[in-house]
Structure 1
Amino acid sequence: MENLFTFLKNQFVFQLDIVFQAPNPLGKPVLNPMDVTGFINEFSIENNLTEIDMLLLALALVPHVKPDFLSSIIADYLPNGGELPEFGGIKTKNHRGILPTGETAQFLIAGNDLEERISFYNYLHNQSFLYQKKIIRIETVPGGEPKLSGMLFLEEEYIEKFITGKILKPQLSSVFPAQLIETSLEWDDLVLNTTTLNYIKEIETWLKFNEILLHEWDMKSKIKPGFRVMFYGAPGTGKTLTASLLGKYTQRDVYRIDLSMVISKYIGETEKNLSSLFDKAADKDWILFFDEADAVFGKRTNVRDAHDKYANQEVSYLLQRIENHPGLVILASNFKANIDTAFTRRFQSIIEFEVPSYRERLLLWQNNLPKGIRIDDDVNLNELSKKYDITGANIVNIIQYACLRTLEDENETINLHHLLQGIKKEYAKEGKMM
């Protein structure tokens, strides 16, 4: 990393020597790829970064490891203070040095050469891998101010990657209303009927071959980006587990959207929250999972007042963002009829998660009971499966309850009484009688 920062400094010195007409100007530095090592080198090779992108990456990263980097460079040319507007840069409340802006990047690459500055602007917006993938971005500025005067950012997860080698997963927060969901289970643990499993395999096929279809088969001009799916069915039938497994077996992160943090009573805030989420996810190859999606994707209403008007605008905005999102979006709902038909018409797949049949319930009982613990002889799993119409989540809860009661009573076997008590508790939660 030190060699890359040396190259960055020499590039600034080269441009500043020209501006200040230094008597012995430094010649234009050249980056030797062999001088770049570590995690940045791996990333550069993997993504075939240009020399300009390497400079942009170094510029965005340097404040995080060398806070005085820019201020010390400019101080050599302006020892008595003063400003060089074309150098850009800003000072903030907490940081004592200079933070780079888009203008700093423009000066770094093009100096004061007008044609080169225009060429850099075009490169940044049309060719830069880092900018296109939103690995670096420029802060939006108030109307009327130069666009490049915004602060140059490196995405947080990449700061961690280039310093430690690991990408920092975004955490649930007010600015990122989603949580990573994972599972230690396997496909064999997902007990569904054959029709539902076949539909899920279609999603897995899209995740595996979409890039080949779009780029190698040149279908990107004919097929809309992304894949939109709806899961519907009773709670506890495997919708969330399915999303987690799709991510696990295709090496993708699955983020469950916390709709309570997305929806706002203030006009425009819901759209703003979702826009931020979709923008961050656009180039990350994530799976977005909207659980209980009725809250946001519900049916539009007849316009009776201003509230209805803006609620319908929210749905229309969501429709547009989902349709243009390049990744997999899964909407989960208890009832298919609750989702606006404008969304369902655009889904590639609508998959029903049915309450398990007798055979599926039997398999769920067998899969989830602890393997090393004896079951009393009076426990007949066939009878339990036939008599009690419950979901996989119910069965897991019942087994957990029975196991804890067995441990509490210091028994060595799981008995029928505890299992029946667990079933009674699950029925009571749903307002049903045994």
Structure 2
Amino acid sequence: MVSKLVLTLRKVIEQRLKQELRGISVKDSTLPQVVFDNSEIAKFIQKHNLSQPEITTLVIALVPHVSPEFFSNIIAEYLPNGGDFPEFGCVKGKNHRGLLPTGETVLYIISGHDIEKRMEMAKMFEEEHLFAQKGVLHIEAVPAGEPKMSGRLIMDDEFVDLFTSGKISSPKLSSDFPAQRISTDLKWTDLVLKEKTLDEIKELETWLNYNEQLMSEWGMRNKIKPGYRVLFYGPSGTGKTLTTCLLGKYTGRDVYRVDLSMVISKYIGETEKNLSGLFNKAEHKNWILFFDEADSLFGKRTNIRDAHDKYANQEVSYLLQRIEAHSGLVILASNMKGNIDSAFTRRFNAFVEFDAPDASERLKLWQVYMPESNKVSRTIRLEQLAKTYELTGANIVNIIHYAGLLTIKDKNTQLENEALMAGIRKEYKKEGKILQK
């Protein structure tokens, strides 16, 4: 399908150039009707009922990724002796050796010199248009004073992947995208939480499943703030990350854990830049953004004593604005609710407390994470372990992991109580606790 669209785009451009450079009259400069197949780009065009100018724009943005020499060859054919052709609007890239389309390229191909039509076509690049709403393509920002339409026409990498390979590749952790996709193979039944916490989690699941229907079918988009902001708070290892992963798994959403070490910068303006790139990439993606150990970025603002404090507070204010404007679910995780700046907490939709497990919950955790029964000695009393040792779910997983490795190392066939106790001592020592004998 893409190759057919590229061929028909070439015909459209040739029609325009024949009219402009050779005086040959043409009736229209949009893509002729194409028989659609089952490709992703065809599905996208049909699903959103794109107009001919919109299809033309979509293909113009995509073509450098599938035919790098496309625009250069056409210009060379019609201007064999070289020369400047500003109406066509293409620019050179930093690494790309061919020509790259701009907003002016789109307007020229579709509208020629018809000013009224050019103004009408320029609306495709406004925030209210489908292309911006879905994050499909945009015009790159230009230096102050230069025409907006002279910016490069950029298609989002994910849509390039979708239209060319049929699937979307997850963005990789980098300085430009300081977040990493996380997931789990566990199920809701593996999550051990108090009943009140589970009820609050179900409310989040309800928002994820039905909010878009409320906004669209009930016409509430202009009446309710976009997005949902939640604080998960409680001791480390009590299930905050696992809960986030399960929410994503059972609502069909990718979960991205933000790496705050890559976000926060000592250089003025860099933190805001990193955050801006993250939220811009996440917009319209239906992702869940998870800020683990969020205190470092969302902590209480300080009194202004010097320039550093001033800019640190500006970072918090900027982040507050971006989170409020974000249309998806944002989850902040902290060990203590009081560590988060009140400016954020006032705007949260929900607070979910993750308590340290009591004895009955610790027993469930031991039972969930222990190996198959034939690998466990019958002398082990999980009820006694759960009652005696105050551990979190993460502690228990670490203990069983460590004990299992010791068992294999010692060439034993079953997990014994002695190996579990070695793991418990290790976890207590790690957290600075004293193990009562």
TM bracket, shorter-chain basis: over 0.9
CA distance in 1, matches of 2:30, 2:216: 36
The alignment's TM-score, normalised by the length of structure 2, stands at 0.96
1:29–1:239 Cα change, 3 Å: closer
Encode CA deviations 1:376-434: one digit per residue, 9 max, x unaligned. Answer: 23211000000000000000010011111111111111111000010000000000011
Q: After superposition, give the CA deviation of every residue in 1:344-373 in whole Å (9 maximum; x if it has no partner).
A: 111111111011111110011011111153
Q: Following TM superposition, by how much is the alpha carbon of 1:46 offset from its aligned partner in structure 2, in angstroms?
A: 2.5
In the TM superposition, 1:151-190 aligns within 5 A as 151-190=152-191
Q: What do residues 131-158 of structure 1 show as CA deviations (whole Å, max 9, x unaligned)?
A: 3322112211111111111111111122
The separation in 2 between residues aligned to 1:264 and 1:343, in whole angstroms, is 21
1:290 aligns with 2:291: yes
Structure 2: distance between partners of 1:196 and 1:60: 47
CA distance in 2, matches of 1:387, 1:279: 49
Structure 1 position 15 matched with structure 2 position 16: yes
Once the two structures are aligned, what percentage of the paired residues are identical?
A: 55
Deviates more, 1:288-297 or 1:310-319: 310-319
* Aligned 1:87-166 pairs, distance under 5 A: 87-125=88-126, 128-166=129-167
SS at match of 1:34: coil
Moved more, 174-183 or 299-308: 299-308
Letter in 1 for 2:187: E
Q: Distance in 1 between matches of 2:124 and 2:94?
A: 32
Q: Aligned AA for 2:176?
A: V
Q: Which residue of 2 aligns with 1:47?
A: 48
**Corresponding residue for residue 246 of structure 2:** 245
Is the CA contact 2:301–2:313 (under 8 Å) kept in the aligned structure 1? Answer: yes
Instruction: Establish whether residue 430 from structure 1 lines up as the match of residue 410 from structure 2.
Output: no
- Distance across 2 between alignment mates of 1:24 and 1:197: 69
Give the aligned partner of residue 367 of structure 1: 368
Written as runs of structure 1 = structure 2, the 5 A alignment for 1:6-405 is: 6-23=7-24, 25=26, 28=29, 30-35=31-36, 38-125=39-126, 128-405=129-406
Shift of 1:29: 5.3
C-alpha separation in 2, matches of 1:315 and 1:252: 27
CA distance in 2, matches of 1:156, 1:243: 26
CA distance in 2, matches of 1:297, 1:99: 40
Q: Name the amino acid aligned to 1:86.
A: E
Q: Deviations over 1:222-254 (max 9, x none)?
A: 211110000011111000000000000000010
Q: Distance in 2 between matches of 1:398 and 1:180?
A: 26
Call closer, same or farther: CA 1:258–1:95 in 2, change over 3 Å: same
Q: Is the 8 A contact 1:71 1:98 kept in 2?
A: yes
Superposed displacement of residue 187, structure 1: 0.4
Using the TM superposition, give the Cα deviation of residue 88 of structure 1 relative to its aligned residue in structure 2, in angstroms.
0.6
Measured against aligned partners, the alpha-carbon deviations of 1:50-80 in whole angstroms (never above 9, x if no partner) come to 2222111211111111111111111222111
**Taking structure 1 as reference, are residues 30 and 151 closer, same or farther at Cα in structure 2, changes over 3 Å only?**
closer
Distance in 2, matches of 1:202 and 1:132, equals 26
Shift of 1:35: 4.7
Whole-angstrom distance in 2 between the partners of 1:143 and 1:126: 20
Closer/same/farther in 2, CA of residues 416 and 3 from structure 1, 3 Å limit: same
Matches of 1:27 and 1:314, distance apart in 2: 50
Q: After the TM superposition, which of the residue ranges 192-201 and 406-415 deviates more from structure 2? A: 406-415
Deviation at 1:199, TM superposition (A): 0.3
Instruction: Give SS of 2:176's match.
Output: coil
Residue identity matched to 1:301: T
Deviates more, 1:23-32 or 1:194-203: 23-32
Partner of 1:20, secondary structure, is: helix
How many residues in Structure 1 have an aligned counterpart in Structure 2?
Answer: 434
1:320 alignment partner, SS class:
helix
Unaligned runs of 5+ in 2: none
RMSD: 1.5
User: For residues 145 and 139 of structure 2, what CA distance do their matches in structure 1 show?
Assistant: 16
Corresponding residue SS for 1:76: helix
Cα distance in structure 2, aligned partners of 1:292 and 1:397: 20
Is the deviation greater in 149-158 or in 383-392? 149-158
2:235 partner amino acid: A
Give the residue type in structure 2 aligned to 1:183.
Answer: T
CA contact (8 A) 1:4 1:35 kept: no
Secondary structure at the counterpart of residue 332 of structure 2: strand
Q: Tell me the CA shift for residue 113 of structure 1.
A: 1.1
**Cα 1:262–1:408 shift into 2, 3 Å:** same
| Letter of the structure 1 residue corresponding to residue 183 of structure 2 | E
